[in-house]
Structures are given as structure tokens and as C-alpha cells.
């Protein structure tokens, strides 16, 4: 698993590992727990992007050392606070739009996000599918 994860690293130098809070993964799993949602009971779990996120969450939570490192990093590593704040702000923005039922704001925000990722989506789909295939094989 580690070798496959290294192979698909987005880092220019995958040998030089930097601790990560994995805040999005921790938040997702915390939300499932608080809402008493079993992701395996949901049909969305069958989509490749969701299976990839679920697999990453499983990988994180089955590796106690990595999970502890993620929690420590989230609490004490100030070098990643900017990235974590960006994540927090994005979640807050989406949450506010959804809570207010602002469909026009939702469409605008969605379209801006879609434009930002437009040139990256096909490569991301290919990478995700290949990673899932490799991880399922091992």
C-alpha cells in the first residue's frame, strides 16, 4: 500500500514526506460518525471517486502511526495551518450556501470550482481509477 501511495504522490519529490493533518478525511469520518452514517450502506460508495476517498480514509484509520501523526500535525504543526484554514473556509462557504438554500449561489460557486479544476479532471479520473485498480490488486 505504501509503495502504491508513493507512486501516486502529487509531491515533486515523493521520497521527502511532509506530515499532513488529513483534515478533510478526519472531517468526513467525523461527520459519518456524528450522523451515524455507514458509508458502505450508501450507493454513492460505488462511484470511483468515493471509493478512492473511502479507501484513503480506511488506509489512514487502519494505520495507527499515520493517524496519530495526522492528529498531532493538525494540533501542533503551524506550517500547514494556511492549508487547513483554506479547507475550513471552503467548507464553511459551501455549508452557508447550502444552509441558506441559495441555489444561485450554489451554481455560481460550483461553476467557479468546476472552472478551476477543468484542466485537471481527466488526469485526476485516470489517476484515481489506476490507483483503485492497483490497490484492489494488492
Q: What is the CA radius of gyration of the chain?
A: 16
Where in the sequence is the domain holding 124, given as residue range(s)? 2-137
**3-class SS of residue 21:** coil
Share of the chain above pLDDT 70, in %: 88
User: 23-37: per-residue pLDDT in tens?
Assistant: 899 999 998 899 898
Are 87 and 24 in contact, with CB atoms under 8 Å apart?
Answer: yes
User: 49-105: per-residue pLDDT in tens?
Assistant: 788 888 889 999 999 999 999 999 999 999 988 989 998 999 999 999 999 999 999
Dihedral of the alpha carbons of 76, 62, 22, 115, in degrees to the nearest 10: 180
Confidence of residue 138 (pLDDT cuts 50, 70, 90): low
The H or E element spanning position 28 is: helix 23-35
The predicted pLDDT at position 110 comes to 92
Assign residue 16 a region: left if phi > 0, alpha if psi is -120 to 50, beta otherwise?
A: beta
Cell triple for 138: 494488492
Number of structural domains in the chain: 1
How many whole angstroms separate alpha carbon 90 and alpha carbon 128? 23
* CA angle, 88 then 94 then 100, to 5°: 130
The answer to whether the pTM exceeds 0.75 is: no
Amino acid at each position: 500500500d505504501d509503495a502504491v501511495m508513493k507512486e501516486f504522490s502529487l509531491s515533486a519529490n515523493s521520497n521527502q514526506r511532509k506530515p499532513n493533518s488529513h483534515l478533510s478525511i478526519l472531517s468526513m469520518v467525523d461527520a459519518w460518525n456524528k450522523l451515524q452514517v455507514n458509508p458502505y450502506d450508501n450507493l454513492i460508495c460505488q462511484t470511483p471517486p468515493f471509493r478512492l476517498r473511502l479507501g484513503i480514509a480506511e488506509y489512514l484509520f487502519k494505520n495507527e502511526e499515520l493517524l496519530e501523526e495526522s492528529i498531532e500535525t493538525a494540533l501542533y504543526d503551524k506550517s500547514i495551518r494556511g492549508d487547513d484554514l483554506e479547507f475550513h473556509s471552503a467548507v464553511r462557504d459551501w455549508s452557508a450556501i447550502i444552509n441558506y438554500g441559495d441555489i444561485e449561489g450554489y451554481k455560481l460557486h460550483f461553476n467557479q470550482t468546476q472552472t478551476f479544476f477543468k484542466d485537471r479532471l481527466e488526469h485526476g479520473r485516470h489517476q484515481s481509477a489506476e490507483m483503485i485498480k492497483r490497490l484492489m490488486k494488492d
